[in-house]
Amino acid sequence: MATKKHVELSEILNHLGEERSQYFNAVSPPIIQTSNFAFRDTASFRGAFLDERAHHLYSRGNNPTTEILRKKIAALEKTEDALVFGSGAAAMACGVIANVRSGDHIICVQNPYSWTYKLVSQLLPRFDVAHTFVAGDSVEEIERTLTSKTRFLILESPNSITFKLQDLSACAELCKRHQVISLIDNSYASPLFQNPADFGIDIVMHTCSKYLNGHSDVVAGVLCGKKTMMDKIFLSEFMTLGSVLAPHDAALIIRGLRTLEIRMQRMSDSALRVAKFLQGHPKVEQVIHPFLKSFAQYQLARTQMRGCGGLFSFLVKANNKDQVNAMVDRLKTFLLAVSWGGHESLVLPFSIFHDIPGQPDPVYPFNLVRIYVGLEDPQYLIADLAQALEIL
């Protein structure tokens, strides 16, 4: 028998937000490809100006197709509302900028997503917003970093390269005590496997370019939270920075969401099988996956996450980056590419970021390899990894 949770999830993915009687009972929602909307009379025109958030006036603000997507993602994250953006990076930037001003201090976890790092370490300082990076695995450390000017905390749990976690309920509790607004990049876990709002985190951010769309053909992002917070962001950063998601892209993500549950289930099962294969391989030094017992924060991962996706890293036994590159070049089924969350399996070797003239080496070792396990048969992927590792 279906549990209540499953019924609700099926309802969200298949029906929520879709007013079919308004568009010929079409099963699939129409792509309302329009920039503006016309009004019957001056009174209704004036009404839309007075409350743009609640009306269809211009598609930089609301659009009926993107609205369906907003409603579904807000429901998936169990928050009152959501705003969708033209990229995850835009969603992150708007979520932070809306809540800080010159003179404030923010705390951010170490080694966040690269463009979050750039936002915090380079863009915000130009506007006199100071920051401190924290390891994030101890709330006491975060507490010690607080100053009288701290207004904002950026979490990323798990991180998408190191997979480090933060204790979400302890962080949320700390923020409440000190009137600090918390935001988490929840992209790795997806709304299916972790709902940070349940723990008291204020703003939940996702890139929709990864799991939510799931087919590697859209770049988009989302912020989820209380209606008051989303209203505030809508009327300031959302409208002024104008990083709009096109209605067609919203429709593609709505389509991608139909299979979110089965994709996530398949990828997490497959990734764990591939991770266990690698863990037992003599040429592999270490596998970093939150749901392996060897993972440093395994207990915390089990407490606050219902599952893991398809992404994890491993360290190969290699003496230099050429050996790592040779192994990766032998892979036939994994595509050599950034990103993740689509149908296709991917590999990202950190060796390619080493020895770049004029640049410091990255914090990640040359033998760190991140793989993303897509929807293919895990046996097919394991066979490929096995033949590639033979070169070492």
Ligand X SMILES: *Cc1c(COP(=O)(O)O)cnc(C)c1O
Q: Which of 120, 124, 203, 219 binds ligand X (CB under 6 A)?
A: 219
User: What is the nearest approach in angstroms of ligand X to the Cβ of residue 216?
Assistant: 11
Q: Are 317 and 285 in contact (CB under 8 A)?
A: yes
User: What is the nearest approach in angstroms of ligand X to the Cβ of residue 51?
Assistant: 29
Piece in contact with ligand X (CB under 6 A), picked from 35-43, 206-214, 258-266, 299-307? 206-214
Q: Are 194 and 186 in contact (CB under 8 A)?
A: yes
Per-residue buried b or exposed e for 240-274, using 16+ beta carbons within 10 Å of the residue's own CB: eeebbbbbebbbbbbebbeebbebbebbbebbbeb
Considering only residues 99 to 128 of the shown chain, the ones binding ligand X according to CB under 6 A are 113
Nearest to 296 by CA among 198, 116, 177, 162: 162
Is residue 207 classed as helix, strand or coil in its secondary structure?
strand
DSSP state of 255: H
Judged by CB under 6 A, does residue 290 bind ligand X? no
User: What is the nearest approach in angstroms of ligand X to the Cβ of residue 81?
Assistant: 20
What are 184's strand-pairing partners? 155, 204
Instruction: Give the Cα separation of 175 and 151 in Å (integer).
Output: 9
Residue nearest to ligand X (CB): 88
Binding letters toward ligand X, positions 239-258, x by CB under 6 A: --------------------
Q: Which of 221, 225, 256, 374 binds ligand X (CB under 6 A)?
A: 221
> With DSSP H G I counted as helix, E B as strand and the rest as coil, what are the percentages for the chain, rounded to 5?
45, 15, 40
**314 exposed, middle or buried (CB, 10 Å; 0-12, 13-18, 19+)?**
buried
Q: Toward ligand X, which CB reaches closer, 113 or 312?
A: 113
**Alpha-carbon radius of gyration of the chain:** 22
Judged by CB under 6 A, does residue 160 bind ligand X? yes
User: What is the nearest approach in angstroms of ligand X to the Cβ of residue 317?
Assistant: 27
Q: Toward ligand X, which CB reaches closer, 182 or 209?
A: 209
User: What is the nearest approach in angstroms of ligand X to the Cβ of residue 158?
Assistant: 9
Q: Are 36 and 59 in contact (CB under 8 A)?
A: yes
DSSP state of 102: T
Piece in contact with ligand X (CB under 6 A), picked from 61-69, 204-212, 232-240, 249-257? 204-212
Q: What is the torsion angle, in degrees rounded to the nearest 10, for the CA atoms of residue 86, residue 89, residue 94 and residue 95?
A: 120
User: What is the nearest approach in angstroms of ligand X to the Cβ of residue 105?
Assistant: 22
Q: Are 208 and 221 in contact (CB under 8 A)?
A: yes
Judged by CB under 6 A, does residue 321 bind ligand X? no
User: What is the nearest approach in angstroms of ligand X to the Cβ of residue 209?
Assistant: 4
Q: Toward ligand X, which CB reaches closer, 187 or 323?
A: 187
User: What is the nearest approach in angstroms of ligand X to the Cβ of residue 363?
Assistant: 16
Q: Toward ligand X, which CB reaches closer, 160 or 166?
A: 160
Q: Which two tokens stand for residue 202?
A: 């204020």
Piece in contact with ligand X (CB under 6 A), picked from 15-23, 87-95, 124-132, 228-236? 87-95
**169 exposed, middle or buried (CB, 10 Å; 0-12, 13-18, 19+)?**
middle
Piece in contact with ligand X (CB under 6 A), picked from 72-80, 86-94, 137-145, 329-337? 86-94
Q: Toward ligand X, which CB reaches closer, 160 or 216?
A: 160
Element (H, E) at 96: helix 88-97
User: What is the nearest approach in angstroms of ligand X to the Cβ of residue 187?
Assistant: 4
Residue located via tokens 């050429």? 322
Judged by CB under 6 A, does residue 87 bind ligand X? yes
Judged by CB under 6 A, does residue 185 bind ligand X? yes
Piece in contact with ligand X (CB under 6 A), picked from 20-28, 126-134, 202-210, 224-232? 202-210
Judged by CB under 6 A, does residue 210 bind ligand X? yes
Judged by CB under 6 A, does residue 89 bind ligand X? yes
Judged by CB under 6 A, does residue 209 bind ligand X? yes
Q: Are 245 and 94 in contact (CB under 8 A)?
A: no
Q: Which of 157, 187, 213, 268 binds ligand X (CB under 6 A)?
A: 187
Q: Toward ligand X, which CB reaches closer, 99 or 187?
A: 187
**2 exposed, middle or buried (CB, 10 Å; 0-12, 13-18, 19+)?**
exposed
Judged by the rule CB under 6 A, the positions of this chain that interact with ligand X are: 87-89, 113, 160, 185, 187, 207, 209-210, 219, 221
